[in-house]
Amino acid sequence: MYKQFRKNPLWFDILALTTAVIEFSSIFFVSNAYCRSGAQFTMAIFCCAYGIKERKNNSRISIAFFTLAALFVFVSLQTLGTY
């Protein structure tokens, strides 16, 4: 696991850490629709970044993460629209 972590580029590690911090901190703000939507949008950014990273190695995983990113954007927009 540590070798896989060391193979990641620095920008990806920073993005993953930032996403994790935003996701876990949004647990405390679950009543606010904007925070919920922002957390879902950060997951979309993370999935898109992971899809870009895996684009050269495995195209099926890349397509799956791009699909997840599109789904997270859709859910994020729906969360904003319901409140």
Q: For residue 56, name the pLDDT band (cuts at 50, 70, 90).
A: confident
The structure's pTM equals: 0.70
**For 2-14, how does the pLDDT look when each residue is reduced to its tens digit (9 = 90+)?**
555 567 778 777 8
Q: What is the pLDDT of residues 58-75, one digit of tens each?
A: 888 889 989 999 998 998
pLDDT at 1: 39
Q: Which two tokens stand for residue 12?
A: 């990806």
How many structural domains are present in the chain?
Answer: 1
More confident residue, 71 or 18: 71
Please state, in angstroms and as integers, the Cα–Cα distance from residue 1 to each residue in 4, 6, 14, 77, following that order. Answer: 5, 9, 17, 35
Helix 33-53 to helix 10-25 angle, to the nearest 10 degrees? 160
